[in-house]
Structure 1
Amino acid sequence: MNYFLTYAVYVLILSVLMGLSTWKLFKKMGYNPLFAFVPFYNYFVIQKETGHPKWWVAIAYLPIVGPIMMTVFHLFLMKHFGKSSFSQQLLTVILPFLYMAFVNYSKDAEVHKEDELYLTEEEKQGKKKESFVGSITFAVVFATIVHVFVTQPFGIPTGSMERTLLVGDFLFVNKWTYGFRMPMRPVAIPFLQGTIMDTGEKGNPKDDPKSYVEGIKLPYERIFQFKKPQKNDIVVFNYPQDSVHKAIDRMDPYVKRCVAVAGDIIEMRAGRLFVNGKPETILGDQQKQHKFIAVTGSQLDIPSLYRQYGFLPVQEIQTQTGFMYDFQGLTDQTAREIKALPQIIELREHIWPKDSAAVAYKVNSTRDAYTKNIDTTQSIFPVNKKWNQDWYGPLKIPKKGDVVTLNQETLPEYQWIISEYEHNKLENRNGKIFINGKETTQYTIQQDYYMMIGDNRDASLDARFFGFVPEENIVGSPMFTWLSVEGLFADKSSSYQPEGKKVRWDRMFKATNTGEAHKTSYWWVAALILILFFGWDYIARLFKKKPKED
């Protein structure tokens, strides 16, 4: 409810600004000046007077789409009063209410009427250009509506979900699977996730220009939530420990399998997953994969193995007696076949020792100082446990309403929940814990949490490292793979990269979240999307008013 109240305040502010900057113009068009202050109706009047489709007003205040449409309406209004030069249009776009107010309070602002019979050739060309720009705008708006409110494309750049989702797969994500999460940054550039551009490895990611306005924000709200993530669902979510983007819906998108839901207890024993004390259920589209170390007397033909098995993240190290290979993500069947190769001296599964903590460090050094801090994104969660990827837990996943005990031992497990995900002021002073200024030994969990882990367990940065995923970070679930290209992304987990790029036609438009070994084809959806996207011009003409016959 807070979401819609906050949004209503934004609408009220925009309506007041619109009224103050255009009321005299409305009067000159023959309308009551108060109409300039009325949400939706003010833009309806503009569309009516300028001869443009009035139904566009219905999307005037939608998040992300609304600012685009408002800009279009402002341009229509200014052109209606003869302000159509490039500089005037530019001012309307970048300083809308200021420039419209300037025109509104100027003495020479009058309605500019055009008569088609007396238009010059240059003016006719201008109208054709305007029509073309309008058509492009409609296409962008239509695509933005689909992108924001229906489905979003998502690419797979890493091998963490092999062999279920391959590097180079492109998915359409259903944003309504777990209820629609309303946009939290309503003013943003369409189609961009968090930043406009990447400044590169030498720059600070926090300095990258953002694709959204940070100051205009809305609280978390999810509507029509008829189901929640279930065990074994493949889920797309925003990376909860993104240090660059504080806006939840602008954090980097990740895709993993939900292996445990709120209230479950998860445990890894020698690389095998157990939930509530029972071995995990392996679905038809899922394969058990493990890390193997191979010792050989001579070099392996890795390109040939890659072509044979399709995916083979491997690190090659030359030794005094031969070579050693670190294979991540071998199935038992693939391991047996590789073990049978004549070059193989030894092939063993790699399991991290029990009670050995997986900890990584960030090293900061200068000429006068040297510091070493724990890198929580690469260290095991929570950082005070002697756990690793293969021996993990038992760990209970927090559930809404749970009352958890807080002390120095349990605090690393819940500190991100309390301070970052549920937005409280957390302090740890002199061995005592304070929440919002009050000392406490308990905390009540405010939302459900989930454990998201990649199918390729030994090559996955997942919840074992970054911790619980809040429900508010859930985006949706992948529907189908609309494109799959081998070799499109460099695999950082492998010293071998495939040569060239190859389209995997057999994966295109296949379902991705069903658990079935043989996926349903969605070619009909692809055809429908293409018809809708490229048929926008015809659809737009249907809504245009037909001229009356004399």
Structure 2
Amino acid sequence: MKYVGHDEAKKHKKTAVREWIDAAVFAVVAATIIRTFVFEAYTIPTPSMEKSLMVNDFLFVSKLSYGPRIPNTPLAVPFVHHSLPGTGTKSYLEWIKLPYKRLFGSKVRRNDVVVFNLPVGDTVINNEHLVEKDEYGNPLNPGEFVYGSQRTYYDALRDARGNRDALWDKHGDYIVVRPVDKRENFIKRCVAIAGDTLEIRNGVVYINGKMNDIPPGSETNYLLKTKGQSLNLEMLEEEYGIRSEHGEIRSTGTPNLYEIFLRHDQVATFQKLPFVDSLVPAVLTYETYNYGVGGADIFPNDSVNCKWTIDNYGPLYIPEKGATITLTDANYKRYERVIRTYEHNSFEYKSGKFIINGKETNQYTFQMNYYWLMGDNRHNSLDSRYWGFVPEDHVVGEAWMIFFSWENGKPRWNRLFRLIK
């Protein structure tokens, strides 16, 4: 080994600038590896998981719980998702595309709080100027930013009555197709896993015929009738944490009648309040149902065979890898997107016959596991009831811990470092 003297070594000493650059590169690489394979920080933007998770909760999501997922698009700008901030320009290149692969990890369990890529976010109209309301139907102020505001192509196509040519003529410059790992991130609770049969009866979830556990922080919609008084919104927020700006209390248009979102442990308290005349669950039947959150349709968008609502839904089988189903006129729309889009088969239905990959058959064997995810705020959540199954390759990780939370510019000290259940 050649000896290098002190004077010679000084000639090759890094400058301060070079040392800063090396340190910055190392930090970016290390942080990217941690963010991709270990854990990532997320913020709760909407009240769909209230009161389990609240708007402006900051949380860590474990990528290790279900196994780290190899990125589909490894060539991407660090620390951003699908678009460069403030530009709408893609933050990734598709020169290299990797197939779905997940490393070691456990299976998704019922009642886990899961972060996942929105399945219907594969094709979006990426033009925020088209968005006039948020996902809960509230009007936006001019120029207001909305989390996940890009409208899904499929919602727009239904509004256009299936006229693809008209839709592309109008919005073709803004239609974007995204790989799985660059689709919008959502967070919901896993209600049913692969192989389960799900049913909702009058707002109560049943899995395989048994009533499902109700999350402790879950909110349900009630109709509250007063004895003639107007509700004191300030009192409701201060004493019970019910906020009108998040849609948790609103007028129905009928005098003295309000919609209110309550936890199960709050119901008895409200029934005893002196100004309350009656308090009953607001259960939607098919006859009274007039679309859901923000006017969205109900999956599988089949009004002939599936006259379902968010409160009366199913029964519906959740696809399991290796399971084979028999396709019929009555059920094929429930699984058409799984067969065609998620598992990449050609699929046609002609004159009562099913053609899959060019062959006539009424049997199909699923290639992946799927999950059913719903918000704890059951009447104020866009979830699987609107867009269906979540494929296993869309699962990002498990929500683990709230590390910070704030409201109205102040920390919610009682929520810091709280484990998510």
Same fold (TM over 0.5): yes
Distance, in Å, in 2 between the alignment partners of 1:392 and 1:332 is 21
Say if 1:358 and 1:388, in contact at 8 Å, map to a contact too: no
- Partner amino acid for 1:433? F
Distance, in Å, in 1 between the alignment partners of 2:195 and 2:252 is 47
Distance, in Å, in 1 between the alignment partners of 2:253 and 2:211 is 38
Say if 2:220 and 2:377, in contact at 8 Å, map to a contact too: yes
Specify whether residues 194 and 139 from structure 1 end up closer, same or farther in structure 2 by C-alpha distance, changes over 3 A only.
same
- Partner amino acid for 1:280? N
Provide the secondary structure at the position in 2 that maps to 1:147: helix
* Corresponding residue number in structure 1 for 2:264: 332
Deviations 1:479-519 (A, max 9, x none): 21111112xxxxxxxxxxxxx32211221122114xxxxxx
Distance, in Å, in 2 between the alignment partners of 1:253 and 1:311 is 26
| Deviating 4+ runs (over 4 angstroms) | 114-117, 354-362
Residue 219 of structure 2 is aligned to residue 304 of structure 1: no
Specify whether residues 477 and 291 from structure 1 end up closer, same or farther in structure 2 by C-alpha distance, changes over 3 A only.
same
Please, which of 87, 92, 97 is the counterpart of residue 212 of structure 1? 92
* Corresponding residue number in structure 2 for 1:510: 418
Residue 251 of structure 2 is aligned to residue 317 of structure 1: yes
TM-score, with length taken from structure 1: 0.60
Provide the secondary structure at the position in 1 that maps to 2:398: strand
Instruction: Specify which structure has the higher proportion of strand.
Output: 2
Instruction: Specify which structure has the higher proportion of helix.
Output: 1
| 1:215-294 correspondence runs (5 A) | 215-225=95-105, 227-242=106-121, 243-244=123-124, 245-282=177-214, 286-294=216-224
Distance, in Å, in 2 between the alignment partners of 1:346 and 1:360 is 24
Deviation at 1:216, TM superposition (A): 2.2
Specify whether residues 435 and 359 from structure 1 end up closer, same or farther in structure 2 by C-alpha distance, changes over 3 A only.
farther
Distance, in Å, in 2 between the alignment partners of 1:356 and 1:432 is 35
Q: Pick the structure with greater CA Rg.
A: 1
Say if 1:159 and 1:166, in contact at 8 Å, map to a contact too: yes
Provide the secondary structure at the position in 2 that maps to 1:485: strand
Deviation at 1:287, TM superposition (A): 3.7
Deviations 1:175-211 (A, max 9, x none): 0111221111010011111111356xxxxxxxx3111
* Corresponding residue number in structure 2 for 1:22: none
Greater relative contact order, per chain length (Cα 8 Å cut-off, separation 6+) = 2
Specify whether residues 316 and 512 from structure 1 end up closer, same or farther in structure 2 by C-alpha distance, changes over 3 A only.
closer
Distance, in Å, in 2 between the alignment partners of 1:361 and 1:235 is 21
- Partner amino acid for 1:292? Y
Distance, in Å, in 2 between the alignment partners of 1:345 and 1:300 is 12
- Partner amino acid for 1:327? I
Provide the secondary structure at the position in 2 that maps to 1:183: coil
* Corresponding residue number in structure 1 for 2:300: 382
Distance, in Å, in 2 between the alignment partners of 1:357 and 1:481 is 36
Provide the secondary structure at the position in 2 that maps to 1:326: strand
* Corresponding residue number in structure 2 for 1:135: 23
Specify whether residues 360 and 236 from structure 1 end up closer, same or farther in structure 2 by C-alpha distance, changes over 3 A only.
closer
Distance, in Å, in 1 between the alignment partners of 2:292 and 2:235 is 34
Distance, in Å, in 1 between the alignment partners of 2:59 and 2:242 is 19
Deviation at 1:116, TM superposition (A): 5.8
For structure 2, the residue ranges without an aligned partner over 5 or more in a row are 1-7, 125-176
Q: What RMSD, in angstroms, separates the aligned Cα atoms of the two structures? A: 2.6
- Number of matched pairs: 354
Say if 1:236 and 1:253, in contact at 8 Å, map to a contact too: yes
Please, which of 394, 408, 415 is the counterpart of residue 336 of structure 2? 415
| 1:118-197 correspondence runs (5 A) | 127-197=15-85
Specify whether residues 343 and 422 from structure 1 end up closer, same or farther in structure 2 by C-alpha distance, changes over 3 A only.
same
